[in-house]
Each structure stands twice: as structure tokens, then as C-alpha cells.
Structure 1
Amino acid sequence: MRRLGVSNLAWSPESEARAFALLAGHAVDGVEVAPTRIAPWDDLTPARLAAFRDGCTASGLSVSSLQAVFFGKPEATLLADQAGFDAMCAHMHVLAKIAETLGAGVAVFGAPRSRLKGDLSNDDAMALAAERLSVLGDIAATGGLVLGMEPVPPVYGADFLNRYRDIIAIVEMTGHPNIRAHLDTGCVTLGGDRPADAIREAAPLLAHYHMAEAQLGSFASPGFDHASAGRALDEIGYDRWVVIEMKQGEGDGLADVETAIAYARTHYFGAAT
């Protein structure tokens, strides 16, 4: 059954308890975690992570997934020199442990600056990425984690894997069960494509989905075609997470969260016609 989650980017860390209560009151299923919204990387001890997980559980929530997984880690790179990739592998071991502790099944790999191809041709970048993603997939598997590869458009600073067909191609080239596709309404649209088309074509590979607007804006006046995206998810029988991804709005952000939940229910959970 399809489940609804909300990213913890959407509220202030200080309002976490109120956010959990709001989500529970609206029958939201889970929370997507940007780890450094809990604590800096070095302070994400097993005890701190377990406390967060237990807070979710007490509110009837689970941890759906991880995002912003390379935030603050500029040394970790997919396509640069071996030292950069070694740093990425080391951090992936950390992420696998975080995921295992929290119970998260997917980590969204957006991180445009962590996957810049620079002077590499696209063919060379694809070949190197497939080789290295296979290594990352092995590491992710140790924590029961799937890496969801996200298309990121140039407007967000990306120069590689910008469109959904690029993601389909790299997932198929890699051929690893822990490397799958992730789609985001905002990223797909800003890349020049229709989310409904992306969903249908990526269906066999799709592990995760973000309901998002440009620049992670609110859903007070959405500009993207979420209705057709929701219908396409219905058509393919999508039964995984749909996560609301948006940045914290005015104040503690909770009013915007409530608006977004209502919008998600309308367009992604059966109320749309």
C-alpha cells in the first residue's frame, strides 16, 4: 500500500515534537530524514539516532528514507579522483549504519555537486558511474539500504544525470539491486520532462517518489502537474513511499506542512479524478 511521508526539512528542529503530533493527527505514515537536521554528522551517535527513531515510533511514524545524504561532505565525490570516491565509500558505510538504526529503506542520491562529471565525456562518466555505483550498492546493502538515483536539472547545479531517461540508463547499466530510480515532481519538470511520462517509463525501476515544487517551495500555490503524476502512480500500481519534500516555511513551518498533506491526499492518494 502506498504510504505518505514528509521530509524533516519542512519544520524547524525545535518543533520536532509538534511536527510528529501533526503528522500523526493527519494519519501520515512516516518521516524522511535529512540526517544533519537531527545533529551534525559527528554527533549522530547510535543513541541519538535511536532516540529519534523512538520518537517517531511513539507517534506511530516510521522513517521512510534518507535525503541530503552528502550534505556537508564536499570531499565525497562519485566521478572525481580515487580519493574522492574513497571518501564517498567511507561515508556510505556511515549512511548504511544510520539507515539500519533508523529503519530507512531508501537514500535519495541527489547531491549534484557530489556527482559532477567535469571534463569527462558523458559516455565515460556513465561507465565510471556504473562501476562505482555498484560498489556503493554493495555498501548500502549492508544496512538494508537502496540508493535512489535522482535526476537533477542544471538549474540546481548538476551536469550529469539531469533527466529521467539518464537515470533509467544508469540504473540499467549498473545492474545492482540496491541501485534504483527515484523521481521528484520538481526535478523532472525543471529538467524539461513530464512527471507522468517519467513514472510510466521508470516503473520497473522506481523505488521512491518525491512530491516537490521548484526550490522546495510550499504547496500554497503549486505550479507543477501533480494530478497527472498521481494518476500515473496509480496506473503502474506504485505501492511505495510518496514523500512531501519542501523546505521550512514561515515560522516553524507546520502550517505549510498541513497544507501540503492535504494537497498530497488529493493528488496522490485516490481523491483526484
Structure 2
Amino acid sequence: MSNLAWPSKDREWACGALKELGIEGVEVAPLKDFDSWEAISKCAIDELRSFYDKFDLKISSLQAITYGKQLRPLDDLDGHVSFLSHMEVVASVLANLGGDVAVFGSPGLRNFVTDEIAPYLTLFDAISKKFEVENVVLGLEAVPEYYGSLWNNNYRSMSDFVDMIDGKGVVPHFDSGCHYLSGIQSDKNVLKQFLQNSRHLHISEVDLKMFDKPSTYNLEVSELVSDYQGRWVVLEMSENSFDKNVFVRSVENFIKLFRDIN
């Protein structure tokens, strides 16, 4: 369950509801729980882990991992050094929180088209090594043009790019809403292949709407979720339309559709 789904003032209530409903983990957008990247100290990490431990919730993963950082778009090659440095911080924070995967979406850094591959492979080869050192992985998300991304913005191109990266520190991540919005037509066999290839899975509605009325494309994914080989399935919603009753119905729908994996 993503911590983007509730307002900060309702965090205690939301986590209590997740525990009661049987949710096992939380995907953390760091600046939803920390004041800034600079404020993420060992003490702050221990406090956050203790908070979620109260509700028997493991920190599964991270998302929104560039939010709050002044980073250059990836097509500005001079910014690759600072981006790599931040990814090293992300890998360390993820490992210390006890999580497994950090999801890299960040459409604002990917609003460009290029035929170049070499400089990006060099960058992500280096990122892969940083994550391997911490025994965690970076999940590359195929964010569609709808959300502002033009670079590796569908699952096929993203997966092909990941296959070229040295090491095992960068893996394919599948987001159901992003895939739907990418416009890539895929029958069940193709969708099954994508799920088998992914190490991390987001279930989302368009614009991260609540999950009280799951879309047809998410119902199709639920029928094939047994083919997914990763550990976590994360429901991603936005707090923008937060309502406690709708939140509970959304989580109940998610559990009904996606509890039985592997």
C-alpha cells in the first residue's frame, strides 16, 4: 500500500485500518514521512520503522524518490553525476528502512526523446552497482506520455533497456495504470510475459484515483497476477480524493483481487 493514499494527518488511522484489513506492507514516498532528504538520519529511519512496526507493517519499497531534490533532466548529461549521487543515497535509505525496491518514475526528469543509448547505459550501469552494494534494487517504471514522460515510456522499451544494463541492481517494474495509458496493445499472453518479467508491481487507476470501482484493465491484470514473480503488489492511490469509507472499500477490493500471488 502506498503512503500517498492518505493525508499526513490521517496516517495513524490509515495504518490502523490497513492492519485490521490484513495489509502487510507500505511503500513509502520519503518526503511524505520525512521533512526533507537532508533530515533522513539513522534516528529518523529508526523512528519511522518503529511507527510502522506498531501496525505490523513492513516498509516494502520506496517511490517518489526524486521528489524534493533539485535534479537536472536525464538528457542533461552534465547532471548525471548528481543524479548518481542521489541514487546512492536512495539505495542506502531503502536498505536501512528494510525495503526491497525503489521505484524510479519521475516523469519530470524524462520529458525528452533521444536515439542515444550509451550515456544512459553508463549511468544506469553505475546505479545498478550502487544498489547491488546495498542488496536492494531500483525498479524502472515505464511512465507514459500522459504523465509527461517521453523516455522509455512503455513497458517494451523500458524492459529492453533494462536488459542491456550490467548487473542485477536495476529491474523492470510494472504499473497497471501506466501500462494502460501507454497505449501498447497487449493480449493476455503478452501481459502474462510482462508480469513474469517484473520484480515489482503497482496497481493503479488513471490519475491514482481510489480503487472502489476497479477498472477493466485492473481486473484483467488480477486474472494473471499468479504469473507475477515479485514479492510485493502495491496499491497506489492519491490522497486527493481521500475519504475514509472509500479508502476502506478500495483496500478491500484490492485484497479480494490481488491477495493470492505466487
Fold conserved (TM > 0.5)? yes
After TM superposition, list the pairs within 5 Å mapping 1:4-15 onto structure 2.
Answer: 6-15=1-10
The Cα shift of 1:113 comes to 1.8
Q: Deviations over 1:31-75 (max 9, x none)?
A: 000000012222222211211111111211100100000112242
Shift in Å at residue 165 of structure 1? 0.4
Name the residue aligned to 2:129.
138
Which stretches of structure 1, 4 residues or longer, exceed 6 Å deviation after superposition? none
1:64 corresponds in structure 2 to 60
Query: Over aligned residue pairs, what C-alpha RMSD do you find?
Result: 2.1
Aligned to 2:219: 227
1:114 aligns with 2:114: no
1:270 and 1:237 map into 2 onto residues whose CA distance is: 11
How far the C-alpha of 1:199 sits from its partner, in A, is: 4.0
Q: What is residue 69 of structure 2 aligned with on the other side?
A: 73
CA distance in 1, matches of 2:249, 2:85: 39
Residue 175 of structure 1 deviates from its aligned partner by 3.7
Alignment of 1:1-273 (within 5 A): 6-39=1-34, 40-82=36-78, 84-118=79-113, 120-121=114-115, 124=116, 126-193=117-184, 194=186, 196=188, 199-234=191-226, 236=227, 238-250=229-241, 253-270=243-260
Q: How much has 1:227 moved relative to structure 2?
A: 1.9
Aligned residues: 259
- 1:225 match: secondary structure: helix
Measured in 2, the distance between the counterparts of 1:44 and 1:245 equals 23
Post-superposition Cα deviations, 1:8-35, rounded to whole Å, max 9, x if no partner, equal 0001112222221111101101000000
SS for the counterpart of 1:141 is: helix
Is the contact between residue 201 and residue 230 of structure 2 (CA under 8 Å) also seen in structure 1? no
Q: CA deviation at 1:144?
A: 2.3
| Distance 1:259-1:127 versus aligned 2 partners, 3 A rule | farther
Q: Is the 8 A contact 1:218 1:249 kept in 2?
A: no
Instruction: Find the aligned partners of 2:260 and 2:94 in 1 and give their Cα distance.
Output: 30
Distance in 1 (alpha carbons) for counterparts of 2:131 and 2:197: 17
Q: Write the letter of the residue equivalent to 1:73.
A: K
TM-score by length of structure 2 reads 0.91
Distance 1:33 1:182 in 2: 16
Structure 1: 5+ residue runs without aligned partners?
Answer: 1-5
When residues 21 and 189 of structure 1 are mapped into structure 2, their CA distance, relative to the original with a 3 A threshold, is same
CA distance in 1 between counterparts of 2:71 and 2:165 reads: 23
Q: Which runs of 5+ in 2 are unaligned?
A: none
- TM-fit CA distance, 1:136: 0.7
- Residues 108, 150 of structure 1: 8 Å contact kept: yes
Contact 2:199 2:230 survives alignment (8 Å): no
Q: CA separation in 2, counterparts of 1:70 and 1:198?
A: 31
* 1:38/1:232 CA distance change after superposition, 3 Å: same
Which secondary structure does the structure 1 equivalent of 2:159 belong to? helix
| Residues in 2 aligned to 1:210 and 1:61: alpha-carbon distance in whole angstroms | 18
Q: Which has the higher contact order (CA 8 A, sep 6+)?
A: 1
Q: Distance in 1 between matches of 2:130 and 2:167?
A: 11
Q: How far apart in 1 are the matches of 2:187 and 2:98?
A: 28
Q: Is the Cα–Cα contact under 8 Å of residues 227 and 268 in structure 1 kept in the other structure?
A: no
SS for the counterpart of 2:125 is helix
Identity value in percent: 27
